[in-house]
Amino acid sequence: MRHAQERAATLIEALPYLQRFAGQTIVIKYGGAAMAEEDLKSSFATDITLLKQIGINPVVVHGGGPQIGKVLEKIGKQAKFVDGLRVTDSETMDVVEMVLAGLVNKEIVGNINRAGGKAVGLSGKDGGLLCARKMIVERNSPELDVPEIIDLGHVGRVHKVNPGILEVLEHDRFVPVIAPVGYDINEGQSYNVNADLAASAIAQAIGAAKLILLTDVTGVLDADGNHCSQLSAIEAEKWIKKGTISGGMIPKVNCCMDAVRHGVSRAHILDGREQHAVLLEMFTDEGVGTVFAAD
């Protein structure tokens, strides 16, 4: 009986959050261990199906770096990175698009459908969803008077989001699953877009209630290594300048700050290695991970 009462208490705790987010859209960037381990893949698909069933509209944007790396290795092509971004020549871009929009995307769609959901796979090229432009990377060098321009090939930034196709799918109760491949219609070029950046841009364009980035860390840590449950954009900026936030966490934090400064109510960095992390964040008082709010 006590166990049953605990279950009832969990449902009661979730009630105000269910009411608050009913009819709202959330954007989830799916990547890391959550995409690699079978039990985590299954629980993620179940969570997405549950969200849709209770009237919340999830939009999934996924990565796939390790899967791309494996295919490149098989064809004998060495991967190159600059500041964490994959150098993407024409041949590599073909592999990126094949793996992201084909293999990885359809596996996620299949998992959600198997869990009882109705998922549809897209790339950023479908319906002109992600209009991209070539990303220009500059690096300061003491030997040069001007910044060095680094050509990453087919690496893009989001220029514009056209969310019409997402609105159609939402109306028909489908879950969009998006591979971050952008397209420049003027140049006729496909671009490899960072999944965090794509998710943030989509969340801003559709006025999402939440942006959630699933990662392989517990969230942002303070200077003493303790988990920080909430940060304002101003505080996060200070922590970056002080070096408290560093390395690969900086672009993720910047994505979150950009989102909350452009209309997204809350942005979160969650540990995707924890089963049901999305549900725990959304429907419990304590939550998990780190939440970012507008200043």
* Predicted local distance difference test score (pLDDT) of residue 4: 67
Q: What is the three-class DSSP state of 112?
A: helix
If you compute the radius of gyration of the chain from its CA atoms, what whole number of angstroms results? 19
Q: What is the pLDDT of residues 233-271, one digit of tens each?
A: 888 888 998 888 888 888 899 999 999 999 999 999 999
The predicted model gives 25-37 an average pLDDT of 91
Q: How far apart are CA 232 and CA 248, in angstroms?
A: 19
Spatial distance between the Cα atoms of 154 and 136, rounded to a whole number of angstroms: 11
Structure tokens at 38: 């079978």
Q: What local confidence, expressed as pLDDT, does residue 43 receive?
A: 94
pLDDT per residue as tens digits for the range 187-238: 889 999 999 999 999 999 999 999 999 988 888 888 888 888 888 888 888 8
pLDDT of residue 169: 95
- Would the pLDDT of 10 be above 80? no
Question: Coil, helix or strand for 163?
Answer: coil
- pLDDT at residue number 94: 94
Beta bridge partners of 123: 179
pLDDT digits (tens, 9 = 90+) for 119-175: 999 999 999 999 999 988 776 665 555 566 677 889 999 999 999 999 999 989 999
Reported pTM: 0.92
What fold does the segment set 23-208 form as a domain?
Carbamate kinase (3.40.1160)
In whole angstroms, give the CA distance from residue 226 to residue 63.
Answer: 28
Region 34-38: what's the mean pLDDT?
Answer: 88
pLDDT score, position 108: 97
Domain ranges, ordered by start, for the chain: 23-208, 212-295
